[in-house]
Amino acid sequence: MAGRIVELTTEICKPILDSLDLELVDVEYVKEGKNMFLRVFIDSPIGVDLDMCSRVSEQLSEALDEHDPIKDPYFLEVSSPGAERPLKNVQDYQKAKGKNVRITTYEMIDKAKVFEGILKEVAEDFLVVTVRIKTQTKDVTIPFEKIASARLAVIF
């Protein structure tokens, strides 16, 4: 059910965001406590501000009411993905080349399941992350099918 709501919301969002030159980063439909939340994350090359999020929220709310894909009560939230935005597809990985990333895998690769470092290469079936281990750096090849989650990482 949640997957279908995410798909329908994505379809409804696209023309709204395209008209505003915005990118759809992610859609989530999740339960927190007793409440359901429909979260839409948007971005643009120059970023998004509160006014833009409000504008999208108003237009999306009207479109969702018109199409009515969600029968139960929910809260709609439209926001920026933030500095540690998720990486969901090959285009996201390509944009992140040369940046700090945090990759979590389903199974161990080189005795680890979490890799933080610079995204060095994006290929068809894998990516390469340069990680720092004490005073040395090492390239780790991670197959896409083993990635559980990936996001940009802010390093302090």
* Domains, the chain, with CATH or none: 2-79 (3.30.300.70), 90-152 (2.30.30.180)
* Interval 120-129: pLDDT, tens: 999 989 999 9
The count of other CB atoms within 10 Å of the CB of residue 126 is: 14
Average pLDDT over residues 116-140: 92
Confidence at residue 156, expressed as pLDDT on a 0 to 100 scale: 65
* Interval 42-58: pLDDT, tens: 998 888 899 999 999 99
Evaluate if residue 138 carries a pLDDT over 70. Answer: yes
